[in-house]
Amino acid sequence: MSAAAIKKEFVKGLWTDIPPFRFVLGLCPTLGVTDTMFKGFGMGAATLCVLVCANFIISLLRKVIPDEVRVASYIVVIATFVVCVEMVMEAFAYELFLSLGIFIPLIVVNCIILGRAEAFAKKNGPVLSIVDGLGMGIGFTLSLTALGAIREILGKGFIPFTDIQVLAEPFEFFQQAPGAFVALGLMLGIMNLLGKK
């Protein structure tokens, strides 16, 4: 397992296969918690943790788990890490925990995690699986943070964490449900455009 192989698995999650834009998975949290940049980042980070840990354990156990019960086993493993993240957040990042709300337990049904378990961790060694998880997870975090920043700037008019006002009359539309759909759709279009070049 060479450095080149590791690099390849890591980098793909950051651009060519970036969720949720290229791998159109994990749309629910992408829409639900990107009204601010911080929430987007927090959600991405939480998902990253679960993804890496789940990929690691599932890869370690891949030869032991019989095929018939593999989905059930994956769900137990993933759910365990999600509950861990829930508890740690409630204890050490309470405000973020409250603002992300129901989307934290919903990490367990984030198609990205089960998807990577099926497509990668099942067939590859633990080190590569961790790398795959890292790449995808960081890519996801970047996407959510970017979308969150855009929605926050357009929707509130201020640059996040500062008092710099960019828009005198912000488009509150982007802070609400319909705006989330439209913003994500447009960003997807832009990403497609950039990818084609």
Partner 1 sequence: MAKFIKMIVVLVCITLASGMALGALNYVTEDRIIRNRLEMTKVPRVIDIMEIKQGEFSGQKRAEIKEGLLNSYKNIEMGGNTYNLFTGRDDTGEVYMVAFETKGEGGYGGEVGVMVGFNVKEDRLEGVGFTSHKETLLEPTFTEEFKKRGLDITYKPDKAGGDIDGITGATMSSVAVCNAVSRAVSFYKEHKEEILEKVKQ
Partner 2 sequence: MEAEASNFQHFFELVIVAVFINNILLHRFLGTCPFMGVSKKMDTAIGMALAVVFVLTLAAFITYGVRQILVETHIEYIQTLAFILVIASLVQFVEMFLKKAIPALYKSLGIFLPLITTNCAVLGACIYNIDEKLNLVDAMVMAFASAVGFGLALVLFAGIREKFETARIPAPMQGTGIALVTAGIIALSFYAFKGMI
Give the CA radius of gyration of the chain.
Answer: 18
Q: Determine the Cα–Cα distance for residues 101 and 113; give it in Å rounded to an integer.
A: 19
Question: Least distance to partner 1 from the beta carbon of 17, Å?
Answer: 28
* Angle formed at CA 143 by CA 137 and CA 149, multiple of 5 degrees: 135
Question: Least distance to partner 1 from the beta carbon of 134, Å?
Answer: 22
Nearer to partner 1, 72 or 186 (CB): 72
**Residue listed under structure tokens 């439209």:** 182
> Is residue 28 a contact residue for partner 2 (CB under 8 A)?
yes
Q: Determine the Cα–Cα distance for residues 23 and 8; give it in Å rounded to an integer.
A: 17
Question: Least distance to partner 1 from the beta carbon of 62, Å?
Answer: 12
> Is residue 71 a contact residue for partner 1 (CB under 8 A)?
no
The distance from CA 119 to its chain's CA centroid, rounded to whole angstroms, is: 17
Among 1, 98, 167, 182, contact with partner 1 (rule: CB under 8 A):
98
Q: Determine the Cα–Cα distance for residues 57 and 109; give it in Å rounded to an integer.
A: 18
Q: Determine the Cα–Cα distance for residues 69 and 195; give it in Å rounded to an integer.
A: 38
> Is residue 94 a contact residue for partner 1 (CB under 8 A)?
yes
Nearer to partner 2, 99 or 126 (CB): 99
Nearer to partner 2, 9 or 152 (CB): 152
Q: Are 127 and 1 in contact (CB under 8 A)?
A: yes
Quick one: which segment of 39-47, 51-59, 107-115, 134-142 binds partner 2 (CB under 8 A)?
107-115
Q: Are 109 and 32 in contact (CB under 8 A)?
A: no
Question: Least distance to partner 1 from the beta carbon of 192, Å?
Answer: 33
Nearer to partner 1, 87 or 194 (CB): 87
Interface residues toward partner 1, by CB under 8 A = 61, 64-66, 68-69, 72-73, 76-77, 79-80, 83-84, 87-88, 90-92, 94-95, 98
